[in-house]
Structure 1
């Protein structure tokens, strides 16, 4: 997930190490408002944008649907799609809490909730997972290029829309451990991202293609010793890196629904090329399991376990492309695009509208060209009342990745098929 912020509206983002395949927001960056001279002509200034897709989301009135909202949210961060999630203590139908403004992130896997938004009665009823013969508390450090989240792994029943997990599943409770417990090795690089203010949301709902957030890397003792993002903490302190079985890893809730558990469809409405104050879409659970979730993608690509298209091509260079609702812009490297400067660091501010093409390639050999439009971030941000943008882009470190963030989702149905190969089922895929 990449999320950038202007004043209260932008956040910086860096992708997690591929070994753990996790994502999170990072520390605030960017300055005040203002515009540029593009605004008088809608930002085109003689340039052109590709035709915008026009699909409309279905109504979120079925049990396998829930509304997605883009707007000011809890911290005024742009292009953050959010849903409401209900968490219940294991085995309880009464000790429950519905939490709004949970970010929908198809680039990560598993539910993470900031501890401060949970009631004391609920958080005290969520059992902390333990590991090893001594019963050490299990904690997780989701590390990123310039930040990390730290907190215990607990079990809870999870409901989204009309879907409920068949049993309690592991999730991360962010910020419920003392900062002094953060291990000196393997965690803590950059800023702590353990509050609502740091995340720009009350939590993250990771519903990408993987059923767990780390998989074999953390389950295998040989690789976990170096790469695991899980830690054994006797008494909540003295935390050391540990291997964790798949069943105890933070879980993608969708994989644990009794039905509609093979994937999701993110449906967002079209928005104006100059931005809109808000957007309301629909998150649909299941693919081909109900009349309202049939696979109708024009392009379908099989991916690696984490939903990445590793053989894609941009400007003649092979890139790892991914479709990530948790990123609030397109992020890629292109030296031909002017950067904005100190007011909007990391964003592109071309003097005229631009179109760029990335060639997506799936493991199944499927190929398609995705055309994206780019307007100056300064022009887009000149209207402080807009929170939904379909042509916002920024720079990524290096030239090996191409992040098709939330702007790509507007006016489209984007499909994510979960990795079911462990049980003899289909390989993970994405489509639109």
Structure 2
């Protein structure tokens, strides 16, 4: 999933995996969020009373220093468009088969709820864009394009091959690079007249930096590619594929696409440290902070700095969903999503904000809600989250990091633990390696 912008930020669930994941249909014009705590350790901290109510104790884990080659800094701040709770990193894109002509792009949104790199075409220099070959499909070598569907809009553009590197400028050595060129999406490089209708998402186009509030999206969740069997199998692809065959670049129609041609999770294609990631964010004040700096760690159990130290781990479906979670007595699909800038869930007992902050919750007093998380294994854990009125939080216009912002989601079958959950925590994502006989996907904290 990811965060959309409006004047104030909004959220949408990264890939809506038709068939295998829940489509979040609510458009929420929103601003950021802040972070929860460790389900077991938070009881050691005192709770906070605000507006006559109380918030649960916040988690207090700190990120490690981003000084090793398998680490990069994560930045939450004003960013490009003043959208709150957008975590960003820098990514280097190179033409296939060469280390020359590369370009490093900053302000790429870090999204654990989607899979693969998507870069707005206008931020690439002309020589690099021209050096990235457009993928083709079918016997007529039709141009391959993708409609990446989010809950409040879509991105449209070609699928191209590129070598992707995520380097740490502060480490001074090394970095992580894909073994070969992988498919990425170039957002907005096709004319709006080529967007398939019907067939390409609902809501508005998110094809510019202004639309996204970022220069692109780096999807590093549990799936090795962005659609999997749904788009690879002709039977399901006919109705649900994200991909389109465009003969001559126009007349685009939905098509099946082999896994090898689907937009790929760069981490799964690194030469090393490719079995997962750890997202580490610092604690922030319950009333927000101007900024926050965390650390993205590549690999789990592959280096001395990335041991699996989660208190709770959950086996998930291929896309990182904990489908046996329970909220207010109802079974829900829960997921940890750095690309959503608030908690998003349905709760009729919470007062919603007025038109100024439509879609957010504005309770008159601080609130606590609990969800029991459950994946495919027997592990269950209860997590408490805090909620403050969005109008209270947004009254300080200098703050861009919040740990207790929440909003409404369409329907009651999903619970989106967005960036607020990450503050003060280390959140783990084990990438699905079952096709090669390896680990099953999991998340943990």
Q: Normalising by the residue count of structure 2, what TM-score does the alignment of the two structures yield? A: 0.91
In the alignment, structure 1 residue 365 sits paired with structure 2 residue 378: yes
1:21-76 deviation per Cα after TM superposition (whole angstroms, max 9, x unaligned): 69999978479xxxxxxxxxx98122111111111100111111000000011111
Q: Secondary structure at the match of 1:222?
A: helix
The residue number in structure 2 matching 1:35 is none
The residue number in structure 1 matching 2:246 is 233
Q: Secondary structure at the match of 2:158?
A: strand
Query: 1:185 is matched with which residue: 177, 191, 198?
Result: 198
Distance in 2 of aligned mates of 1:214 and 1:101 = 25
The residue number in structure 1 matching 2:344 is 331
Query: 2:149 is matched with which residue: 139, 143, 150?
Result: 143
In the alignment, structure 1 residue 206 sits paired with structure 2 residue 216: no
The residue number in structure 2 matching 1:19 is 18
Q: Secondary structure at the match of 1:289?
A: coil
In the alignment, structure 1 residue 110 sits paired with structure 2 residue 116: yes
CA-atom RMSD in angstroms: 1.9
Q: Which runs of 5+ in 2 are unaligned?
A: 32-47, 168-174
Conserved in 2, the CA contact under 8 Å of 1:22 and 1:108?
no
State the structure with bigger RCO (CA 8 A, min sep 6), 1 or 2: 2
Q: Which runs of 5+ in 1 are unaligned?
A: 32-41
Conserved in 2, the CA contact under 8 Å of 1:26 and 1:147?
no
Query: 2:125 is matched with which residue: 107, 115, 119?
Result: 119
The residue number in structure 1 matching 2:283 is 270
Q: Which moved more, 1:308-317 or 1:11-20?
A: 11-20
Distance in 1 of aligned mates of 2:22 and 2:300 = 24
Distance in 1 of aligned mates of 2:285 and 2:209 = 29
Conserved in 1, the CA contact under 8 Å of 2:145 and 2:158?
yes
Query: 1:168 is matched with which residue: 181, 194, 207?
Result: 181
Where do 1:244-323 residues align within 5 Å? 244-323=257-336
Distance in 2 of aligned mates of 1:263 and 1:23 = 25
Q: How much has 1:10 moved relative to structure 2?
A: 1.8
Q: How much has 1:11 moved relative to structure 2?
A: 2.5
CA gap of 1:27–1:236, structure 2 versus 1, over 3 A, is: farther
Q: How much has 1:364 moved relative to structure 2?
A: 1.1
CA gap of 1:236–1:43, structure 2 versus 1, over 3 A, is: farther
In the alignment, structure 1 residue 423 sits paired with structure 2 residue 436: yes
Conserved in 2, the CA contact under 8 Å of 1:2 and 1:329?
no
CA gap of 1:157–1:216, structure 2 versus 1, over 3 A, is: same
The residue number in structure 2 matching 1:130 is 136
Q: How much has 1:173 moved relative to structure 2?
A: 0.2
Q: Secondary structure at the match of 1:224?
A: helix
1:200-219 deviation per Cα after TM superposition (whole angstroms, max 9, x unaligned): 11000000000000000000
The residue number in structure 1 matching 2:66 is 60
Query: 2:232 is matched with which residue: 205, 216, 219?
Result: 219
CA gap of 1:2–1:153, structure 2 versus 1, over 3 A, is: closer
The residue number in structure 1 matching 2:3 is 3
Distance in 1 of aligned mates of 2:22 and 2:380 = 26
The residue number in structure 2 matching 1:77 is 83
Q: How many residues align?
A: 421
Conserved in 1, the CA contact under 8 Å of 2:134 and 2:159?
yes
Distance in 2 of aligned mates of 1:27 and 1:195 = 18
The residue number in structure 2 matching 1:45 is 51
Conserved in 1, the CA contact under 8 Å of 2:404 and 2:420?
yes
